[in-house]
Amino acid sequence: MTTTALLTIVSGRHDHLRGQLIGLAAATEPPAWHVIASMGDDDVRTVLAATPAAPGTRRVVVDVPLPADGELPLARARNAAAAAAIELGADLLVFLDVDCVPSPGLPAAYAQAARGPSVRASPGPVLLCGPVAYLPAGVRVTTPSDLGELPAAARPHPARPAPEAGQVLAADPSQWWLFWSLSFAVSAPDWTRSGGFCEDYRGYGGEDTDLAATARSLGGSLVWVGGADAYHQHHPVQDPPVHHLEAIVRNAAVFHGRWGWWPMTGWLEKFRAAGLADYDAATRTWSVADPSAAAARSTAS
């Protein structure tokens, strides 16, 4: 019997959190625990109190204070949620971004995949990744009746595999860097072996790729899990994400120092083309070119 905990980190996005809670309440096999890491968000408990949980799912809120610089402690919050879940007895950790509404079969599909012989035989940590599809701006989850609209309204990510329900596909080597923390699962022992997210990353960017690099370095596997579908609720985005400029440049340097190559090069190159970041070929380093210009650009967006 698998004891599953679903883990969500939150700072704002309360409408999206409500949508996730409504979706989770409709799960065919609800998790034993829903651990919510609140990053300086005092209103999370109010949202939870107003939205019923599925029978058998117990909720726990872990408070993660914001640092003085105001950067969201994403890696630290996920680690805190995982530590709480393991202490509660969970042996499967399912990480789901607050923007994501789980399909009814998501917890069960992850649990079934985790019990599979190929996953259990892996010599290193296994990262299980379900498909994430994107909802348009006009589709919201405010009541259980809205859930039925999601499969037809959502659009799959063009670069990531989306296996059919019941399929479990090992990623090929070129797909390792498609890993992301929007929706994934890992056994508690594999989480412990990997060490979790590196907390040297502050704010947005880099920590997902670092976890994948760690799992790969330990002889692990990345696996695509059909049926563990999630639906990403719409919110405005920037391309490149200028409001995360300083964090991305800083975290890219952390990653380079740990692994010897640069992640997020697509964004870094777009920042350079916009005059917001510089690359010094002599020292092989990226830097923020003009923080004041970046701030103005972010405000204007």
Is the pLDDT at 10 greater than 60? The verdict is: yes
93-104 confidence digits (pLDDT tens): 999 999 999 999
Whose CA is closest to 8, among 85, 108, 115?
A: 85
Is the pLDDT at 301 greater than 50? The verdict is: no
Coil, strand or helix: which one is 41? coil
Residue 255 to residue 251: CA distance in whole angstroms:
6
Residue 239: pLDDT band (50, 70, 90) is confident
Dihedral sign for Cα atoms in the order 108, 223, 10, 99: negative
Q: SS3 string of 90-126?
A: CCEEEEECCCEEECCCHHHHHHHHHCCHHHHCCCCCE
156-175 confidence digits (pLDDT tens): 999 899 999 999 999 998 89
Q: What is the value of pTM for the model shown?
A: 0.94
Name the residue ranges covered by the structural domains of the chain: 4-232, 242-300
User: What is the percent of the chain with per-residue pLDDT over 90, rounded to a whole number?
Assistant: 88
Is the pLDDT at 297 greater than 70? The verdict is: no
203-216 confidence digits (pLDDT tens): 999 999 999 999 99
Whose CA is closest to 220, among 115, 125, 120, 119?
A: 125
Q: Give the mean pLDDT of the chain.
A: 94
Q: Of 3.40.50.720, 3.90.550.10, 3.40.50.300, 3.30.460.80, which CATH number belongs to 4-232?
A: 3.90.550.10
Structure tokens at 5: 């905990």
Query: What pLDDT score was predicted for residue 298?
Result: 47
Find the angle CA(171)-CA(174)-CA(180) to the nearest 5 degrees.
65
Query: What pLDDT score was predicted for residue 137?
Result: 93
* DSSP 8-state code for residue 167: -
Poorest-confidence range of 49-63, 135-149, 247-261, 279-293? Answer: 279-293
Residue 220: pLDDT band (50, 70, 90) is very high
Phi and psi (nearest 5°) for 49? Answer: -65, -30
